[in-house]
Structure 1
Amino acid sequence: MIDLENLRALIAVRDHGTVVAASESLGFTPSAVSQQVKRLEGQINAKLLERVGRSVLLTEHGRLLAEKGVALLADLEELESLAQLPDAPIHGTLRIASFSTANRGLIAPLLGRLSRIAPHLALTLIELDPWDSLALVERGGAELALVHNWSTVALDVPASLTATALCVDRVDVLLHAEHPLASQDAVRPADIAEETWVSTPVGTICHEGLTQLFAGAGHRAKIAYYDGDFSTHVAFVEQQAAVALVPRLGRDLLPPTVVAVPIVDPVPYRQVELAWRRSTTANPGLQLVRRELEALVARGGAGQDVPREG
Structure 2
Amino acid sequence: MIDLDNLRALIAVRDHGTVIAASESLGFTPSAVSQQVKRLERQINAKLLERVGRRVLLTEHGRLLAEKGVALLGNLEELESLAQLPDAPIHGTLRIASFSTANRGLIAPLLARLGKVAPDLTLTLIELDPWDSLALVERGGAELAVVHNWSTVSLDVPASLTSTALCEDRVDVLVHRDHPLASRKEISPADLAGETWVSTPVGTICHEGLTQLFAGAGHRARIAYYDGDFSTHVAVVEHQAAIALLPRLGRDLLPSSVVAVPVVDPIPYRQVELAWRRSTTANPGLQLVRRQIESLVAESYDGREGARVGRELG
TM-score over 0.5 (shorter chain): yes
The more displaced of 160-169 and 61-70 is 61-70
Runs of 5+ consecutive residues of structure 2 not aligned to the other structure:
none
* Secondary structure of the structure 2 residue equivalent to 1:104: helix
- Spell out, residue by residue over 1:255-294, the C-alpha distance to the aligned partner (whole angstroms, 9 max, x if none): 1111110000001100001011111111111111111111
Match of 1:215 in 2: 215
Match of 1:267 in 2: 267
- Tell me, in whole angstroms, the C-alpha distance in 2 between the residues paired with 1:26 and 1:68: 19
- Tell me, in whole angstroms, the C-alpha distance in 2 between the residues paired with 1:212 and 1:286: 34
Match of 1:277 in 2: 277
Runs of 4+ in 1 over 6 A off after TM superposition: none
- Tell me, in whole angstroms, the C-alpha distance in 2 between the residues paired with 1:247 and 1:165: 17
- Tell me, in whole angstroms, the C-alpha distance in 2 between the residues paired with 1:52 and 1:226: 33
Match of 1:30 in 2: 30
- Spell out, residue by residue over 1:26-53, the C-alpha distance to the aligned partner (whole angstroms, 9 max, x if none): 2323322221111011111222223344
- Spell out, residue by residue over 1:113-155, the C-alpha distance to the aligned partner (whole angstroms, 9 max, x if none): 1111111111111111111111111111111000011111111
The one-letter code of the counterpart of 1:235 is: A
Asked if residue 170 in structure 1 is aligned to residue 170 in structure 2, the reply is: yes
* Secondary structure of the structure 1 residue equivalent to 2:171: strand
The more displaced of 241-250 and 214-223 is 214-223
Paired residues for 1:18-57 under 5 Å: 18-57=18-57
Match of 1:140 in 2: 140
Match of 1:296 in 2: 296
Residues 51, 239 of structure 1: alpha-carbon distance in 2 compared, 3 angstrom cutoff: closer
Tell whether the 8 Å contact from 1:198 to 1:244 is kept in structure 2 after alignment. Answer: yes
Residues 63, 251 of structure 1: alpha-carbon distance in 2 compared, 3 angstrom cutoff: same
Paired residues for 1:152-301 under 5 Å: 152-300=152-300
Tell whether the 8 Å contact from 1:193 to 1:214 is kept in structure 2 after alignment. Answer: no
The one-letter code of the counterpart of 1:106 is: L
* Secondary structure of the structure 2 residue equivalent to 1:73: helix
Match of 2:118 in 1: 118
CA drift at 1:305: 4.9
Tell whether the 8 Å contact from 2:302 to 2:308 is kept in structure 1 after alignment. Answer: no
* Secondary structure of the structure 1 residue equivalent to 2:223: strand
The more displaced of 97-106 and 116-125 is 116-125
- Tell me, in whole angstroms, the C-alpha distance in 2 between the residues paired with 1:36 and 1:82: 29
Residues 98, 303 of structure 1: alpha-carbon distance in 2 compared, 3 angstrom cutoff: farther
* Secondary structure of the structure 2 residue equivalent to 1:293: helix
* Secondary structure of the structure 2 residue equivalent to 1:187: coil
CA drift at 1:222: 1.0
Percentage of identical aligned residues: 85
Tell whether the 8 Å contact from 2:101 to 2:250 is kept in structure 1 after alignment. Answer: yes
Tell whether the 8 Å contact from 2:9 to 2:22 is kept in structure 1 after alignment. Answer: yes
Aligned length: 310
Paired residues for 1:34-113 under 5 Å: 34-113=34-113
Tell whether the 8 Å contact from 2:302 to 2:309 is kept in structure 1 after alignment. Answer: no
* Secondary structure of the structure 1 residue equivalent to 2:185: coil
- Tell me, in whole angstroms, the C-alpha distance in 1 between the residues paired with 2:302 and 2:202: 27
- Tell me, in whole angstroms, the C-alpha distance in 1 between the residues paired with 2:28 and 2:107: 27
Match of 1:12 in 2: 12
- Tell me, in whole angstroms, the C-alpha distance in 1 between the residues paired with 2:126 and 2:218: 37
CA drift at 1:303: 12
CA drift at 1:302: 8.4
Runs of 5+ consecutive residues of structure 1 not aligned to the other structure:
none
- Tell me, in whole angstroms, the C-alpha distance in 2 between the residues paired with 1:279 and 1:67: 16
- Tell me, in whole angstroms, the C-alpha distance in 1 between the residues paired with 2:298 and 2:52: 53
Tell whether the 8 Å contact from 1:169 to 1:307 is kept in structure 2 after alignment. Answer: yes
The one-letter code of the counterpart of 2:44 is: I
Residues 52, 238 of structure 1: alpha-carbon distance in 2 compared, 3 angstrom cutoff: closer
